[in-house]
Chain A
Amino acid sequence: EPEVTQTPSHQVTQMGQEVILRCVPISNHLYFYWYRQILGQKVEFLVSFYNNEISEKSEIFDDQFSVERPDGSNFTLKIRSTKLEDSAMYFCASSAPRGPPGDTQYFGPGTRLTVL
């Protein structure tokens, strides 16, 4: 069964450094998402991406964040200058061609980001 994959599984970085989190969505999916979860708490929406542009973003997704689909298979989340409060589990998700609402989003296993 196809699945969403994410790398790395754990990223440790110093405050102020740039990090790039990588995701490979399910191959025929066209809608991509990033969510974050702090310490096993609520899962929060960051951004959605369709047709090579951001379709929606939350207030969490400020100028420090960016997303890109560089090569038709990967979907990346970049944090330019990490802060301590960026420490969280980051989940990538993708959904099928029909798009929202109502389509099931399939989640990757997550990348745990630790900012020191």
Chain B
Amino acid sequence: AQSVAQPEDQVNVAEGNPLTVKCTYSVSGNPYLFWYVQYPNRGLQFLLKYITGDNLVKGSYGFEAEFNKSQTSFHLKKPSALVSDSALYFCAVAGQNFVFGPGTRLSVLP
């Protein structure tokens, strides 16, 4: 069975500082990993995905994620956080459907 963990419910970071939102996964076979962002009262917006190839994946809005097979992790990163990045972030692993992690609330403080 596939599963995703996001060990932090909440991440606080100052504007301009780098941010990391953590995700670990458990799958049998090749992992297909995604990050989505949810703003208040909105749907899920696709940020980036890892299917194969380079371990560093670049996505929308300056976000990137690093796939680490040995640590079964897919952490989301951004070099310089913006207040507008404050939202709920979901990591997901894809099989026939998506299995989402519980979400991490990111607060970027001005």
Contacts and interface: CB of A to CB of B under 8 A. Distances in A.
Interface of A: 4, 33, 35, 40-45, 48, 55-56, 58, 91, 93, 100-110
Given A41-B103, A104-B49, A107-B36, A56 B97 contact: yes
Contact of B43 (A41, A44, A56, A109): A109
A66 B44 CA distance: 23
Contacts of B102: 41-42
A4 B104 CA distance: 24
Contacts of A45: 97-99
Contact of A43 (B32, B45, B100): B100
Q: Among B43, B88, B90, B92, find the residue whose CB has the most chain A CB atoms closer than 10 A.
A: B43
Interface string B43-65: 11110010100000000000000
Nearest to B102: A42
Interface string B69-110: 000000000000000000010101011111111110000000
